[in-house]
Amino acid sequence: MSTGVTSTITERVNRIETMPSIPAVLLPLMELLNAPPDKVKLDEVVKLVSYDNTIALQTLRIASSPLFGLPRAPQSIKAAVMTLGLRQVGAMVLTSCLGQAFPTKGWALDPTVFWRHSLGCAMVCRKFSERLHIIDADKAYMAALLHDMGFLVNCLMFPEEFADALERASQESIPLVDAEQVTMGFTHCQTGRALAEKWRLATEIVQVVAHHHDIEHCEADHSLVSLVHLGDLLCRMRNLGYGYYERQKVDLVSDPAWSVLVKEHREMENIDLVRFTFELDEDLTEIDQLVSAIFGSGKAASAR
Amino acid sequence: MTAGPQIALSKPAGVLQAPADPVFRQIRDLVYKVSGIYQVEEKLYLLADGCGRRMRQLNISTPREYWDRLTAHTNRDAEMRSLLNEVTIGETSLFRSQPQVDAIRKVILPELISEKSKQIIKRLRIWSAGCSTGEEAYTLAMVMMEEQAHLLKDWTVEILATDLNDRSIETAKAGIYGDYALRSTNDYFKRKYFDPAADDKLQVKPEVKKLINFSRLNLHDDSKMLFMKGLDLIFCCNVLIYFDGPSKSKVVNHFFNDLNSGGYFFLGTSESLLKLNEQFHLVHFPGAIAYWKPSRTGKKP
């Protein structure tokens, strides 16, 4: 893609007034949560969560949802944060911010489909990192949760063009990113990058957003981008794609991203990918429950 | 609901209908290690049911005692076989895995046909190894017949279906199935490829049977295994689980050699090849897994 197109996207993304702005609490909160676990200041996290009404309410609501099976709903933000755990608070705040920033009505891409894929990918990447001690698991979770944020930008800023791309992808059973390139001349990787940079997200997250479909052009930290690339592929092969049949054969071990990870982390070679895949199927229930909790009942299951 | 997405969370407690006793997860892991069969959390109750039936037969009262029987007792191998029988029982039906059928029709056949199109003889050879009572072989035959009008026009399709058990082969040849075996077969296929039979059952039409060659074969018989050549697809569903380590890897090596380059090997849907053969490439299709013998061109998928 030419620099011309890139600057056009950036211009368009910057110019449009409806372009979502980053919620004020997000950056300081992420900074707090990214500290080593024993150094995280719980009280400050609670203070920041309480500062944003929407986030505070959602924190309480999630902590009291039946998923946690608590005998009674937590009565304070502090209790809710402690129920969820700091990692969950971080992920929730991020998702909640994205959700606030983007309306869910009139999306070309069904939001339940989008969140199933993003959450699935986040879970896969976290599990992979935990299993192999290759990359900080929480970082992997965040990066994967956000990797496709460009689709949100596309739904909002280029609704018609993106609807055409999605239509073409499902008609021809091809990867959505290829359909975007053909019909729009750019992809969610570029639009996602523009927003991620505008929001001043961490460089490594920007790299994941920009290069999870072309790891060879990644400018730094190949490991994280490679991991998310593989997680994305695996999810699309296990009922966590974009809601249509992708006519694809995926050989993860022969993928260049796999070689990147093996080179840096020899223990990758020992992973049992089949069992890993079966275990991902087990997570589908949990993912669907989460998505249902967000969008109301029934929808997530029909998105399969 | 207007609120934006919110999220998070670790494994919710008590949401899944899993058996309470943690021993069942230990047994699940042992079964996987020995056989490659993985019972996902949602289906753990099936494993627990299977263990329960074995426990009643053996007059064992606790899962922990049964675990000892599977691990420490002198007859543990025989007991593991009995348990595997319980776990995989009733798994056979026609069109058991739609994602597998989709992968074959939408991805694999177009690829095989484009790779083989330069050959003079346009022929596809498929083997259902351990075909039991024939459900898988007939499914494949019907799928191939569906494609014969388009993708497989001018192609000859041969399906070999073998089993060790003579009685299974006879049942397979008859091709008569009831509701249970046909539970995943849609009306389109039922109408097109079956005739009514006694007791409300359905019988596979002669033109479908014509595509399949049923015979008896012992997968341990090396000389016969060497004879099976030039295959494009091999299916071996829930058969290898009963073999011990060394004979399992021997049979898998035979399968690898019997396949054409670019061919595919399929196991059961919850079955893994573990680390039995490093030459096969594990490949994913939407909702399905297969093992691929790389093409001679070394072309990446």
Query: What does the domain layout of chain A look like in residue ranges?
Result: 21-101, 106-302
Distance from the Cα of A67 to chain B's closest Cα (Å) equals 5
Q: Inspect the interface and report whether the beta carbons of B5 and A245 lie closer than 8 Å.
A: no
Give me the sheet containing B123-129, strands edge to edge: B212-216, B156-163, B123-129, B231-235, B259-266, B288-292, B281-285
Mean pLDDT of A212-230: 92
> CB–CB of B285 and A238 under 8 A?
no
pLDDT tier for residue B263 given thresholds of 50, 70 and 90: very high
* Most confident range, picked from A91-100, A201-210, B21-30, B190-199: B190-199
Of A100, A145, A281, nearest to B40 by CB-CB distance is A281
User: Residue B113 domain-assigned?
Assistant: yes
- Domain region containing B63: 23-88
Question: Domain for residue B125, yes or no?
Answer: yes
- Reported as a single tens digit per residue, the pLDDT across B123-173 is 999 999 999 999 999 999 999 999 998 899 999 999 999 999 999 999 999
Least confident of A67-81, B73-87, B201-215: A67-81
Q: Is residue B42 part of a domain?
A: yes
Q: By percentage, how much of chain A surpasses pLDDT 70?
A: 80
Judge contact between A135 and A129, C-beta under 8 A.
yes
Per residue in B64-118, pLDDT (tens digit) is 999 999 998 888 888 998 998 888 776 689 999 999 999 999 999 999 999 988 8
Phi first, then psi: give them for residue A283, nearest 5 degrees.
-75, -15
- Is A249 in contact with B13 (Cβ distance < 8 A)? no
User: Which chain A residue lies closest to B264 (C-alpha atoms)?
Assistant: A249
Q: Stretch A160-189: mean pLDDT, rounded?
A: 95
* Range from A96-100, A189-193, A199-203 carrying the lowest mean pLDDT: A96-100
Domain end point (choices B57, B88, B119): B88
The number of beta carbons lying within 10 Å of the beta carbon of residue A225 is 28
Q: Do B117 and B159 fall within a single domain?
A: yes
Strand pairing report for B288-292 and B259-266: antiparallel
Chain B residue with the nearest C-alpha to that of A103: B4
Closest by CA position to B237, among listed B168, B149, B134: B134
Please state which of the ranges A23-37, A132-146, B180-194 shows the lowest mean pLDDT.
Answer: A23-37
Nearest to B301 among A246, A249, A285 (CB): A249
Strand B288-292 relative to strand B281-285, pairing? antiparallel
Among the residue ranges A56-65, A200-209, A215-224, the one predicted with the least confidence is A56-65
Q: Do A290 and B7 touch (CB under 8 A)?
A: yes
Q: Are residues B163 and B266 in the same domain?
A: yes
User: B285 to chain A: which residues are within 8 Å by CB?
Assistant: 237, 248-250
* pLDDT reported for residue A304: 40
- Smallest Cα–Cα separation from A123: which of A271, A273, A286, A295? A286
Residues 6+ apart with CB under 8 A from B251: B219, B220, B225, B240, B243
A294, B10: Cβ pair inside 8 Å?
no
Please give the structure tokens belonging to residue B94.
């026609």
The domain defined by A106-302 carries CATH number 1.10.3210.10: yes
pLDDT tens digits for range A102-122? 666 778 888 889 888 998 998
pLDDT higher for B20 or A266? A266
In a domain, B3, yes or no: no
Residues in chain B: 301
The answer on B195 and B79 residing in a single domain is no
- Residues of chain A with Cβ-Cβ distance to B41 below 8 Å are 282, 285
Across the interface, whether the CB atoms of A88 and B8 are under 8 A apart is answered yes
The pLDDT score that the predictor gives to residue B14 is 39
A69 or B40: which carries more pLDDT confidence?
A: B40
CATH of the domain at B134: 3.40.50.150
Q: How confident is the model at residue B3 (pLDDT cuts 50, 70, 90)?
A: very low
Same domain, B36 and B169: no
**Rounded to 5°, angle at Cα B243 from B83 and A279:** 60
Residues of chain B with C-beta less than 8 angstroms from the C-beta of A270? none
Residues B73 and B198 in one domain: no
Pick from A69, A249, A285: CB nearest B285: A249
The token pair that represents A204 in the structure block: 């490594």
Beta-carbon contacts of residue A295 (< 8 Å; ≥ 6 apart): A104, A111, A112, A115, B1, B5
Considering only CB atoms, A62 lies closest to which of B8, B283, B300, namely B8
Closest CA–CA distance from residue B108 to any residue of chain A (Å): 9
Mean pLDDT of A43-63: 77
Asked whether residue B83 falls in the same domain as residue B102, the answer is no
Of the candidates B213, B212, B274, B266, the one whose C-alpha atom is nearest the C-alpha of residue B243 is: B274
Q: Write out the two tokens for A80.
A: 């809710």
Do residues B77 and B112 both lie within one domain?
A: no
Provide, as residue numbers in chain A, all residues whose Cβ is less than 8 Å from the Cβ of B13: 68-69
Same domain flag for B244 and B170: yes
Q: Is the pLDDT of residue A241 over 90?
A: yes
Q: Is the pLDDT of residue B187 over 80?
A: yes
Which residues, 6 or more positions from B258, have their beta carbon under 8 angstroms from its beta carbon?
A: B127, B225, B228, B229, B230, B231, B234
Separation between Cα atoms, residue A88 and residue B105, nearest integer Å: 42
Q: Mark which of B63, B88, B113 sits at the end of a domain.
A: B88
More confident residue, A56 or A13: A56
Q: How far apart are CA B51 and CA B59, in angstroms?
A: 12
Do B249 and B107 lie in one domain? The reply is yes
Give the contacts of B180 (CB within 8 A, at least 6 positions apart). B90, B93
Mean pLDDT of B50-76: 91
- The total domain count for chain B is 2
Q: What's the confidence (pLDDT) of residue B5?
A: 35
Read off the pLDDT of each residue in B2-17 and give the average, rounded to a whole number: 37
Task: Using CB atoms within 10 Å of the CB of residue A173, give its burial: 0 to 12 exposed, 13 to 18 middle, 19+ buried.
Answer: middle
- Residue at B145 is within a domain: yes
CB A116 within 8 A of CB A290: no
Shared-domain flag, residues B76 and B222:
no
* Domain assignment present for B4: no
CA separation, residue A169 to residues A111, A175, A179, A301, B270 (Å): 17, 6, 5, 22, 30
Residues B259 and B128 in one domain: yes
Candidates A109, A278, A279: best to mutate against B (most CBs of B within 10 A) is A278
- Predicted local confidence at residue A45, as pLDDT: 82
Of B88, B121, B141, the residue at which a domain comes to its end is: B88
Q: Give A142's pLDDT tier (boundaries 50, 70, 90).
A: confident
Return the amino acid letter for A283: D
- Pair B287, B200 in one domain: yes
